[in-house]
Amino acid sequence: GAGVSQSPSNKVTEKGKDVELRCDPISGHTALYWYRQSLGQGLEFLIYFQGNSAPDKSGLPSDRFSAERTGGSVSTLTIQRTQQEDSAVYLCASSLQGGEQFFGPGTRLTVL
């Protein structure tokens, strides 16, 4: 596609439920990043993929968070047993190695 796409655009869930957020990067981009934008914490890095492997997961806030990438393309961020503090906008970005990161529109997650 023309840009990075993310789905859903909005997700409202109840505390304790699991959620999956999807990112479709720009075709051919080998690097993929997840970030989180929240009122209390600003914009923070979560995880980085190079191809299908994740050499840097240092930003994942707890073991309830996991992510995978398949076929060097689509990535899914999963949050298990959601908590209210997980409410945020989750951003995905992709790039050619060493190049400019292009951001998707984000998924706004609200945990009630």
Judged by CB under 8 A, which stretch of 18-26, 54-62, 66-74, 79-87 contacts another protein? 54-62
Distance of alpha carbon 94 from alpha carbon 28, whole angstroms: 9
Q: List the one residue out of 106, 58, 45, 110 whose CA is nearest residue 83.
A: 110
Q: Tell whether residue 31 is a contact of another protein (CB under 8 A).
A: yes
Among 1, 28, 42, 71, binds another protein (CB under 8 A): 42
Judged by CB under 8 A, which stretch of 7-15, 51-59, 61-69, 70-78 contacts another protein? 51-59
Burial 26-55 (b: 16+ CB within 10 A, else e): beebbbbbbbbeeeeeeeeebbbbeeeebe
Binding mask of the shown chain, residues 76 to 105, with x at each position contacting another protein by CB under 8 A: ---------------x-x-x-xx-xx-xxx
